[in-house]
A and B are shown apart, each in its own frame.
Chain A
């Protein structure tokens, strides 16, 4: 059981990393892009914009206490 937990933690750290909100935000952004394009909306801009906002927000939270 200990090994299963360690294995899970390894993959969580590997894919999700320090800030789970970024991974969750990316999932939402990809889902929104999928919905928009399948409703014939041109949504190529959505993912780059989401990435920019998620990155800036994650950095803001990471540096808030240090500042």
Chain B
């Protein structure tokens, strides 16, 4: 059961980050040609795979209790960031991430950038694609490594993330545009809940807790945090609407 949640978490986190990376690469590639951006994507992918391949097995030498304590703490800090942002967006306090707007901005910047050539590459197109994929991918690598190492299922977590990558690339090629209809905040909400729940579960186990019901407790934590998060969204929405001048919230 926890393995299924683990794969789902890696898949969803990878999907949502890759949608953002795809928008950047498409914005640059459609304006400046595809060779340099694709080399940038390939170079970043090599770096990310190297991180998973080198760090993943290296973590297996750390005692599992220590590993779960550290991974749990990091997942909690990381997951709560995702959850907090998703709740602020769902309740209307922060605008939703607009993939079409990001795409438009990337195209404008790509058109206005200079034409510097380095190592036979359009340097702007290469560096923007490389950085975009690397920065979005680092979060995925962190999740894959932490999920995989704490559960001893690095291969499965990596497979979940890779499946999402393939799906997003295929969808992007078919759509030839940003995947603006992907319910990004809903996915981020779910990933935030999963990361925080796994963080709670493993962090407490690493600190010496014996969960009642063993692995079933993970579902209990997930349900508790899910109900709490939805209650917070409702309360914040109400608070925001109450603060608006009469008639402005209609």
Contacts and interface: CB of A to CB of B under 8 A. Distances in A.
Contact of A16 (B77, B210, B232): B77
Contact of A26 (B76, B210, B228): B76
A19 to B, nearest CB: 7
Interface in B67-84: 69, 72-74, 76-78, 80-81, 83-84
A36 B200 CA distance: 16
Contact of A17 (B81, B200, B228): B81
B77 A23 contact: yes
Interface residues of A, number: 32
B73 A27 contact: yes
Contacts of B236: 59, 63
- Among A48, A52, A54, the one with the most B-chain Cβ atoms within 10 Å of its Cβ is A48
B209 A43 contact: yes
A60 B81 CA distance: 14
Contacts of A63: 88, 91, 93, 236, 239-240
Given A47-B203, A51-B196, A33 B208 contact: yes
Contact of A55 (B74, B84, B221): B84
Contacts of B232: 55-56, 59
A55 B224 contact: no
Interface string A26-54: 11001001100110001110111001101
Contact of B243 (A47, A48, A67): A67
A62 B240 CA distance: 12
**9 pairs of A and B residues whose beta carbons are closest in the complex:** A37-B208, A17-B81, A34-B207, A33-B207, A67-B243, A47-B204, A44-B209, A23-B77, A47-B200
26 contacts: A14-B78, A14-B142, A15-B77, A22-B81, A26-B73, A26-B77, A33-B208, A34-B69, A37-B207, A37-B208, A43-B204, A47-B76, A47-B207, A48-B225, A51-B200, A51-B225, A52-B228, A55-B84, A55-B229, A59-B232, A62-B93, A66-B240, A66-B243, A67-B239, A67-B240, A67-B243
Given A19-B84, A26-B77, A37-B209, 15 more contacts: A14-B138, A15-B77, A22-B84, A30-B203, A33-B204, A33-B208, A34-B208, A43-B209, A44-B204, A44-B209, A47-B209, A48-B221, A55-B87, A59-B236, A62-B84
Interface of A: 14-19, 22-23, 26-27, 30, 33-34, 37-38, 42-44, 46-48, 51-52, 54-56, 58-59, 62-63, 66-67
